[in-house]
A and B are shown apart, each in its own frame.
Chain A
Amino acid sequence: MKEIRKHYHEAIAEIDREVLKMGAHVEESVGKAMSALVNQDTSLAEQVLAGDEVINRFEQQIQDRLTVLIATEQPVAGELRHIITSLKVISQLERMGDHSVHIAKAAVKIAQEKFIKSLIDLPKMAEYGMKMVHEVLTAFSDRDKDKAISVAQLDDRIDELHNQVWRELLTYMMADVSTINQATTLLFVSRWLERFGDHATNISEWVVYDSTGEHIELNL
């Protein structure tokens, strides 16, 4: 029995590693996008734009492998749940990669402008976002639902920062109309980072589903 399933378990472990690798790419891409924005480094932003292709390819490949695994191994119960979870996780990661791309594009857009204020909260949001992907994927590969739930709490900090950035930029725009162009761009960046955290929270929910079979709501 054990030997028969060995192939299956090895395949699952390998796919888990691929998911982690995809996550590492997403983590790196949002980090790079953010430093491209802060340092007004267009070549770094270009790297992020090019890197999205890699993330998308990861999603497709993992998806195909999982499909084949469902077809050939007919997994049941917990094994099936893990495959479903993996499918959901990679689609969330792909969306997160897209948000990095958006941020990188914003970085290119305002690369030549002088910042209306020094960027402090946005990098902090990105840092929390990166930490969330990092930790939630550790929880995913360890099948650790408690960790997944605790990671989701970081999202509150991101949301707080998002609200703060929102208010702050609004005051800038009201005070000086010429800042509107840059301020809206930064607002969008903040929005994307907030979405980034939400996707990470969704992954947490799926990790909980993976180990318990229950759907819970962490994104409150």
Chain B
Amino acid sequence: MKTKSRSIVSYLLPPMVLLFIILAGSVAFFSYRNLSSLLYSEYYNRLESTAAVLQAALPDTSDELRRYAPQVCTEFGKKQEIRLTFISPDGTVFADTHENPSAMENHATRVEIRQALNGEDAFSLRESPTLSIPMLYHGTPLRNSDGKIIAVLRSSIPARRIESLLGSAALSIALITAVLLLFSVLAMVLVSRKITVPLSRIAKYASSYGEFDFSQSVKAEGPREIVTTANALQKMARALTSRIGKVSSQKQELEAILTGMNEGVIVLDHNLVITELNPAAVKLINYSSEPIIGKSLIQVMRNTDIDNFALETLTAKAVRQSSFVIAVEGEQKHLQINAATIEAVLEGVYGRNEIQRLVLVLNDITHLKRLENIRKEFVANVSHELKTPITSIGGFVETLLDGAIEDKDTAQRFLHIIHNQVDRLGNIIEDLLTLSRLEQNEGGQGITFEQIELINPVQEAVSMCRRKASENSIEIRVDCETGLEIYGNSRLIGQAVFNLLNNAVKYCPEQSVVQVKGERDADGQVRLAVRDNGPGIPEADRSRIFERFYRVEKARSRDAGGTGLGLAIVKHIMITHGGSVELESGDSAGTSFLLRFPA
């Protein structure tokens, strides 16, 4: 993402420096030029005025001039820097300040001499062939009284002086320019830092916002534009913070709802790969290896029916509901699954993205299924239990009508049986009514509770069983502490104890012993145990004996006159009392039921 970019300074500096150089350069150039022409004209003036003075002072005849000239040259040359040369009109030199005239070449071709011979004053700047240095020359004609040119006076001065003056001037100009340039660059950098420093600070904040860190607020000083930008950024950060807060709180809310749900929720993508699921779903499918997200439905559930169901719903883009049976750790679970397709269009960084998701809501209906089964079984059982005595009564009545009534003995016997069966019917209906009353009054409304001695209902129940027990030579031993007080209904507790004793007496072989033991345990709870040393209850039946009409040995217990509701009534009586009944042990050493009353 990072492209190489240049800073503001590097944008500003080159044009500014260029501009400055052009400006300073032209100022320097023109001032240098003016200075140089000023200097030159100064020197020219000196030569000119010297020539003019000498012109007036020198003799105006050729012979006299030739006699005096060498003397003038030497005299003048001693005092002045100016070199004088006298040249005759034919170009030969006859006097010179520095050189021997006879050794000097003809000067007629020199520019200033030529022009002077034509009668004009003339200047020239050129290298001296005799001295090999640049010189300023001035030639002026010397005339006799007739105005005829008798010689040319040439005065000259070395240009070196001017050049050295000009050189030092140029140096100082350059120096000043350089110093100024340095200052201006420095000033420019300082000024641009005024912009770049707050800008880079803003950039730092902006990038920390990019990483969703809104803890710092933008503080920027400097130019107005930058402050405005900083404020805008700050505003944006605030807006983002509140938006993010809103979104994340919504997400948390949603997550809390999903987590709190009892139903399992699984979200699948178009490939049936799990993208999200809640803890309830994890518990339901019981998939051990982490992580579940990213795994496909078939891998996690391993159920082709559910997979096909999901696939169908997804292809049909529909909402469906169905029930499945899955095996979890060897146990069968009934699942009701609601599936719904959701389609959403995501506006993302990479353009519009249509996504299809499938939401599965899993409901564990194992418990409901079991209740349903119990209900079905109950209805079937009730009908069966009622039908048996009625069939029997019907049969005997028919036989009596067919003539058996004439035989007194038989009729007597039949009527006895019918009476027994009616009793049985009455018992069943009585028990059913008791049960339904108990169920309606679960929690104890409608039943009078009072503080009672446990021994009283127990004794009552024992005395009711006594006759039948002695018929079978079964001994009933009561070992109940006195002073065991419970809060309950004496009649109901008596019935519960009676039911338990009745069972024991019915199913125990002769010479058995039934023990009733009441005590208070360490927690202050009152417990009543009814133990016998009868045949016990087979392991497979133990979990179901409290169900209505459940019989361990179907035929035998009905012969023994049971309704199949006794233990169910005991259970409900104990529930009404806020206590519980449990089968303590039921192996071949005998059966033991334990009633617990709340403290």
Q: Are A138 and B299 in contact, with the CB atoms below 8 A?
A: yes
Q: Are A17 and B304 in contact, with the CB atoms below 8 A?
A: no
Q: Are B302 and A27 in contact, with the CB atoms below 8 A?
A: yes
**Residue A214 at the chain B interface, CB threshold 8 Å:** no
Closest to A14 in B: B271
CB contact list, B256-298 vs A, under 8 A: 271-273, 289, 295-296, 298
Q: Are A24 and B303 in contact, with the CB atoms below 8 A?
A: yes
Chain A residues whose CB sits within 8 angstroms of the CB of B271 once the complex forms: 10, 13-14, 17
Q: Are B330 and A24 in contact, with the CB atoms below 8 A?
A: no
**Residue B307 at the chain A interface, CB threshold 8 Å:** yes
Assembly CA distance A190 to B94 (angstroms): 149
Query: On chain B, which size bracket covers the interface?
Result: 10 to 19
Output the least CB separation between B304 and chain A (Å): 5
Output the least CB separation between B329 and chain A (Å): 11
For B322-338 the 0/1 string (1 means CB < 8 A from A) is: 00000100100000000
Q: Are B299 and A17 in contact, with the CB atoms below 8 A?
A: yes
One of A17, A28, A127, A134 near B272 (C-beta < 8 A): A17
Closest to B305 in A: A28
One of B289, B299, B327, B330 near A20 (C-beta < 8 A): B299
Chain B residues whose CB sits within 8 angstroms of the CB of A20 once the complex forms: 296, 298-299, 302
Q: Are A17 and B330 in contact, with the CB atoms below 8 A?
A: no
Chain A residues whose CB sits within 8 angstroms of the CB of B272 once the complex forms: 17
One of A10, A17, A27, A127 near B296 (C-beta < 8 A): A17
Assembly CA distance A167 to B273 (angstroms): 47
Chain A residues whose CB sits within 8 angstroms of the CB of B299 once the complex forms: 17, 20, 137-138, 141
Assembly CA distance A127 to B327 (angstroms): 11
Q: Are B298 and A25 in contact, with the CB atoms below 8 A?
A: no
Q: Is the interface of A mostly helix, strand, loop or mixed?
A: helix
Q: Are A24 and B289 in contact, with the CB atoms below 8 A?
A: no
Assembly CA distance A24 to B303 (angstroms): 6
Assembly CA distance A69 to B296 (angstroms): 21
Chain B residues whose CB sits within 8 angstroms of the CB of A28 once the complex forms: 303-304
Q: Are A138 and B298 in contact, with the CB atoms below 8 A?
A: no
Assembly CA distance A171 to B272 (angstroms): 51
For A127-141 the 0/1 string (1 means CB < 8 A from B) is: 100000010011001
Max count, chain A CB within 10 A of own CB: residue among B272, B289, B302: B302
**Residue A57 at the chain B interface, CB threshold 8 Å:** no
Max count, chain B CB within 10 A of own CB: residue among A10, A13, A17, A31: A17
Assembly CA distance A14 to B302 (angstroms): 15
Output the least CB separation between B568 and chain A (Å): 30
Assembly CA distance A138 to B307 (angstroms): 16
**Residue A197 at the chain B interface, CB threshold 8 Å:** no
A142-B298 contact given A13-B271, A17-B271, A21-B307, CB 8 Å threshold: no
Output the least CB separation between A82 and chain B (Å): 16
Chain B residues whose CB sits within 8 angstroms of the CB of A127 once the complex forms: 330
Assembly CA distance A142 to B299 (angstroms): 10
Assembly CA distance A23 to B307 (angstroms): 13
Chain A residues whose CB sits within 8 angstroms of the CB of B303 once the complex forms: 24, 28
Q: Are B304 and A21 in contact, with the CB atoms below 8 A?
A: yes
Q: Are B298 and A21 in contact, with the CB atoms below 8 A?
A: yes
Assembly CA distance A104 to B272 (angstroms): 31
Assembly CA distance A21 to B306 (angstroms): 11
CB contact list, A1-51 vs B, under 8 A: 10, 13-14, 16-17, 20-21, 23-25, 27-28, 31
Chain A residues whose CB sits within 8 angstroms of the CB of B298 once the complex forms: 17, 20-21, 24
Q: Are A25 and B289 in contact, with the CB atoms below 8 A?
A: no
Assembly CA distance A138 to B543 (angstroms): 36
Chain A residues whose CB sits within 8 angstroms of the CB of B307 once the complex forms: 21, 24
9 closest residue pairs by CB, A with B: A24-B302, A20-B298, A17-B296, A21-B298, A24-B304, A20-B299, A25-B304, A141-B299, A17-B298
Given A17-B299, A20-B302, A23-B302, 4 additional A-B pairs, CB 8 A = A13-B271, A16-B296, A21-B307, A24-B303
| A–B pairs, 10, beta carbons within 8 Å | A13-B271, A13-B273, A17-B271, A20-B298, A20-B302, A21-B307, A24-B302, A28-B303, A134-B302, A141-B295
